[in-house]
Amino acid sequence: MSIPPRIGFIGLGIMGRAMALNLHKAGFKVSVYNRTRTRTIEFADLGCQVAATPRALAKMCDLVITMVADPAAMDAVMEGPEGVASAFAGGNALLNMSTVSPDYTLALAKKCFTAGVTFLDCPVSGSKGAAEGAQLVILAGGERAAVDRYAPVLKAMGRETVYAGPAPAGTALKLCLNLIVAQLTTALAEAAALGRAQGLDPALIFEALGHNPALNCGYFNLKKENILKREYPPAFPLKHMLKDARFMLAEAAKSSLDLPVTAAVERLMAKSYNSGYGDKDLSVVLANLEEPLGARKE
């Protein structure tokens, strides 16, 4: 990457906003598109160009980065007369950092290959704080040479890149990591609910965990405030983890692999989603667990 690419960033949500800001801070020429235009105002104030459509953005950039919700959102920004794909030209590159399914990633990789567009499959590990601090772990799929070529771009958003193999290996690795995150979250919520059911202050759980080096997990500390205050401002919205749990189960089913704990976590998250908690942090599952205890609903 001798000449820095002109970057077009699509998706200025919790993660994408921070990642695009870090690219701008690192000195890249960043232009943006977001479905809800108000989210682009701070970028316009920074001197970034704001495109009216994904197609217009793709036309003004060498590298398009997508960080949107899910496959439906990817379709909305990629397809159709105003989509990115309509402006694909040989020599361009697409870096998808949204978490989608491996099947979706593979189809996108094929589409890019046919169009002569370099494709990188790079979902991320790390939540809002890591995105803000450029401390994400980037799970990279695609051709190794392409991942290496765009290393300075990845470096501006993350602390480390783990190369997983050809697409959709980045997405596959992401699902494995999120399986752990989903289970850690529900483990913490269940422990807190069990503690309260036994008359314990859940703060004791965090205190004891903190004294045990083998259990003193940074992720637990990230969710500590939510669990103790029963407040769930979104860092990782529940709706996104529910989507990912479903991708995990679908992938496992292809190999007749049973994931009983993940299946139970998916059911709990679906219940939470159906309670109207989709936009809250995934730690909100605690609210559903505590319903029989008569805890206040968030």
- Decide if 65 contacts 17 (C-beta within 8 A): no
User: Is there binding between residue 170 and ligand NAP (CB under 6 A)?
Assistant: no
Which stretch, 63-71, 81-89, 113-121, 138-146, contacts ligand NAP (CB under 6 A)?
63-71
From the number of C-beta atoms within 10 Å of its C-beta (0-12, 13-18, 19+), residue 256 rates as exposed
Name the token pair of 292: 């029989």
Confirm or reject binding of residue 66 to ligand NAP (CB under 6 A): no
Burial of 117: CB neighbours in 10 Å, binned 0-12, 13-18, 19+: buried
**In angstroms, what is the minimal distance from the CB of 137 to ligand NAP?**
10
Contacts with ligand NAP by CB under 6 A: the residue count is 27
Catalytic residue list: 174
Which of 5, 13, 102, 158: binder of ligand NAP (CB under 6 A)? Answer: 13
Question: Site map for ligand NAP, 22-61, x if CB under 6 A?
Answer: ------------xxx--x----------------------
12 binds ligand NAP (CB under 6 A): yes
| CB closer to ligand NAP, 140 vs 290 | 140
Q: Is 68 in the site for ligand NAP (CB under 6 A)?
A: yes
CB closest to ligand NAP, residue no: 13
The interface region with ligand NAP, picked from 1-9, 122-130, 218-226, 267-275 by CB under 6 A, is 122-130
Q: Is the dihedral of CA 165, 171, 175, 178 positive or negative?
A: positive
Closest approach of Cβ 36 to ligand NAP, in Å? 3
Contact 156, 23 (CB under 8 A): yes
223 in contact with ligand NAP (CB under 6 A): no
On whether the CB atoms of residues 192 and 202 are closer than 8 A, the answer is yes
With contact defined as beta carbons under 8 Å apart, do 122 and 146 qualify?
A: no
Residue for token pair 């949500």 = 13
By CB under 6 A, is residue 114 in contact with ligand NAP?
no
Neighbours of 291 (CB within 10 A): 12
Q: Is 236 in the site for ligand NAP (CB under 6 A)?
A: yes
Which range touches ligand NAP (CB under 6 A), out of 13-21, 188-196, 199-207, 263-271?
A: 13-21
Among 76, 184, 228, 270, binds ligand NAP (CB under 6 A): 76
Residue 184 in contact with ligand NAP, rule: CB under 6 A: no
Residue with tokens 């990188």: 120
Among 5, 8, 9, 16, binds ligand NAP (CB under 6 A): 16
The Cα 186–Cα 110 span in angstroms is 36
Nearest one of 261, 232, 235 to 249, comparing CA atoms: 261
CA distances from 276 to 284, 287, 298 (A): 10, 11, 10
Retrieve residue 243's tokens. Answer: 């989507």
Nearer to ligand NAP, 34 or 118 (CB): 34
Smallest distance from the beta carbon of 226 to ligand NAP, in angstroms?
Answer: 13
Q: Measuring CA to CA, which residue among 249, 221, 214 is closest to residue 235?
A: 221
Tokens (6 digits) for 185: 């979250």
Tell me which residues touch ligand NAP (CB under 6 A).
11-16, 34-36, 39, 67-70, 72-73, 76-77, 98-99, 124, 127-128, 235-237, 240
